[in-house]
């Protein structure tokens, strides 16, 4: 693992809909038709254009990612990824969570996006404990950045104090 803060990985506490990175990453579900949690917040803040584009895309398998514009958001794009529903001790589920991060970054690279903000995929309604999800997320991002120079910044956006503390310990804040 490399040097984090001050390097290309950053973290903030707050609302992802307010981020001004070129893309924000949504924790969506397979249908891509909106929902609760961060997904609901992004569709509410971004407006109906995002949902229209999601309908046209027609869904997304778990661990993969799809891109739409950002509608009324500051971010120009929304990358919608689908994390796994947590299952205790499952390697398959851990691999799917890592894939969600990796495939979101790959889609950013494919679209020339250099600054990406992630919500904490699967750690809300999908039940992934933050202590287990955070190291997987950080390692997947770190591995991707090691191999790809094009992405300048990955920002983890944590919505509550507890998640922020867990990430802070791992990132050495």
Per CB under 6 A, residues contacting ligand AR6 are: 15-17, 27-29, 35-39, 41, 83, 119-126, 157, 159-160, 163
- Sheet (strand 77-81) strand order: 9-13, 153-158, 115-118, 23-27, 77-81, 65-69
Q: Rank residues 7 and 127 by Cβ distance to ligand AR6 and give the closer one.
A: 127
Q: What's the rounded Cα separation, in Å, for the pair 73 and 58?
A: 22
> Of 65, 63, 98, 61, which Cα lies nearest the Cα of 79?
65
Q: What's the rounded Cα separation, in Å, for the pair 148 and 151?
A: 7
Q: What's the rounded Cα separation, in Å, for the pair 26 and 37?
A: 10
Q: Rank residues 3 and 127 by Cβ distance to ligand AR6 and give the closer one.
A: 127
Supply the minimum distance, in Å, between the C-beta of residue 167 and ligand AR6. 11
Burial of 15 (0-12, 13-18, 19+ CB in 10 A): middle
Q: Rank residues 16 and 67 by Cβ distance to ligand AR6 and give the closer one.
A: 16
Q: Rank residues 117 and 151 by Cβ distance to ligand AR6 and give the closer one.
A: 117
The residue annotated as part of the active site, out of 10, 15, 29, 39, is 39
Supply the minimum distance, in Å, between the C-beta of residue 83 and ligand AR6. 5
Q: Is 143 among the catalytic positions?
A: no
Active site residues: 39
């Amino acid at each position: 693992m490399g040097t984090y803060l001050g390097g290309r990985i950053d973290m903030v506490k707050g609302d992802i809909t307010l981020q001004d990175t070129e893309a924000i990453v949504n924790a969506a579900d397979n249908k891509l038709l909106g929902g609760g949690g961060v997904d609901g917040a992004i569709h509410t803040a971004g407006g109906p254009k995002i949902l229209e584009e999601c309908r046209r895309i027609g869904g997304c398998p778990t661990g993969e990612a799809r891109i739409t514009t950002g509608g009324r958001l500051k971010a120009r794009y929304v990358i919608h990824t689908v994390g796994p529903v947590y299952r205790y001790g499952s390697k398959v589920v851990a691999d799917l969570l890592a894939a969600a991060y990796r495939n979101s970054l790959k889609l950013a690279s494919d679209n020339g996006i250099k600054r990406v903000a992630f919500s904490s995929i699967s750690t809300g309604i999908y039940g992934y404990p933050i202590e287990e999800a955070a190291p997987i997320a950080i390692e997947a991002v770190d591995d991707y950045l090691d191999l790809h120079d094009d992405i300048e910044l990955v920002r983890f956006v944590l919505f509550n104090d507890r998640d922020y503390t867990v990430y802070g310990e791992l990132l050495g804040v």
